[in-house]
Chain A
């Protein structure tokens, strides 16, 4: 098993922490992982992306030529990375912010209304966790229990936000 993921969006959308949740889940599960953030002169509102490689074996290249899964949180990210997704791979599109449809026909596309679902979950900041739920379902690399254990651990100091994050995760996970 090797799962190569590129996650991209605006700074402030939780792109880096979404990648980090996948990395922490890998450790939790005894898997190998690399998490490589883009670290240019970024700021809130600028573009932000990260590359995550999850594997059963030690990861060689942390740089991804063709991702198995692209998570595009905003339009510029979809435009930038769409062509690089492996044929037969997946694109998760944040349809709250991206109105256009994916042009490619050789990949599977999931449109997730992440921002609206986050509001439904009770916390607008959980859009990235909605997408984490969708990723967990689509990739099949982690069980939802593992992801929830990681969410619980990461928010241990802010237990008040855990229910909304769980709700957001479930809304993403339960999408068709």
Chain B
């Protein structure tokens, strides 16, 4: 039987079932249920939970634990994620797998505590210094949070690239029915050839490092990272198409906003207006192929990008559709959330 779970708690439980055995974090609304839940849950499965003295400490603990081969994660919200960026850049350069959850709140600055999507650029374009990316997912329901979190360590370890789950306050606080998967058998996981397990006595030293002082060495490393990102784009890109095949207007949104947009599509369809929805599930890699395919359909007249920001994902929408059709923007910010009717109104009034 399905059970009713809050987004944050479901992510925490899915992390444990997916193999997370180490969590390091520092409290911040609206994601506090994740560390709260893991503070008791990880001990039940022989894991480790540390409330660090700061976000900077927490991400560096993730760096250390991931380097030692553990399935380690952290979670935070916007200002806290900003503080973690230096560590994330080091982790990405050192090619260590880990999971980072960002339940976004309105910004900039300390901002508010209500839902927002204003960290899209930070999440998908790097966030810290240097040329790098993470694999970024934008789940839209508690069940999708569970499914993505459950496999996140597998994906992250496969490519040695951190995974970021980008939610918002709404997704963290909402309660929905979920089906939880079985525990992963960690004893079947392969030994990580690169990890500093501390049992390598007499053999070659394992070195995890992000200082590559020789220009040629660093250049090769940059290319290696980007070859990996290309492979990830080929294998891991995810997108949902809803009623796009005959659509004249294509709404595009991610996360919880995509659900509000989906209700708007249903209302507009019931009024005879041909509207569809294109929802990126991976935000990096961005589902470019799905977007250009829909943009090239003759029936499609325009895109409407809907976000809880001043317009961030819209840039990726414009790039991937190669501007073959106009892209309009509708957004709310500051922690305010649009209703389905607001979207309907925008779409119908803009079209007059």
Kindly state the separation between the CA atoms of A41 and B259 in the bound complex, as whole angstroms: 25
Q: List 5 A-B contacts (CB under 8 A).
A: A37-B173, A60-B340, A61-B259, A63-B339, A65-B339
- Give B residues with C-beta under 8 Å from A: 1-4, 29-30, 113-114, 169-170, 173-177, 256, 259-260, 262-264, 266, 337-342
B residues in contact with A40, CB < 8 Å: 113-114
Q: Is A62 an interface residue (CB 8 A)?
A: yes
A residues in contact with B1, CB < 8 Å: 27
Q: Is A142 an interface residue (CB 8 A)?
A: no
B residues in contact with A65, CB < 8 Å: 339-342
B residues in contact with A39, CB < 8 Å: 29-30, 113-114, 169, 173
Question: What 1/0 mask marks residues of chain A from 13 to 57 whose CB sits below 8 Å from any chain B CB?
Answer: 000000010011011000011111101110000000000000000
Q: Is B266 a contact of A60 with CB atoms below 8 Å?
A: yes
A105 CB → nearest B CB, Å: 22
Q: Is B262 a contact of A60 with CB atoms below 8 Å?
A: yes
Kindly state the separation between the CA atoms of A45 and B260 in the bound complex, as whole angstroms: 31
A9 CB → nearest B CB, Å: 18
B residues in contact with A20, CB < 8 Å: 4, 175
Q: Is B4 a contact of A27 with CB atoms below 8 Å?
A: yes
Q: Is B266 a contact of A35 with CB atoms below 8 Å?
A: no
Instruction: Classify chain A: how many residues form its interface, as a range.
Output: 20 to 34
Kindly state the separation between the CA atoms of A149 and B4 in the bound complex, as whole angstroms: 16
B residues in contact with A59, CB < 8 Å: 176, 259
Q: Is A64 an interface residue (CB 8 A)?
A: yes
A residues in contact with B30, CB < 8 Å: 39
B residues in contact with A60, CB < 8 Å: 259-260, 262-263, 266, 340
Known: A36-B174, A59-B176, A62-B174. 20 other contacts (CB 8 A): A27-B2, A27-B4, A33-B176, A34-B174, A34-B175, A36-B173, A39-B29, A41-B113, A60-B340, A61-B260, A61-B262, A61-B263, A62-B170, A63-B337, A63-B338, A63-B339, A63-B340, A64-B339, A65-B339, A65-B340
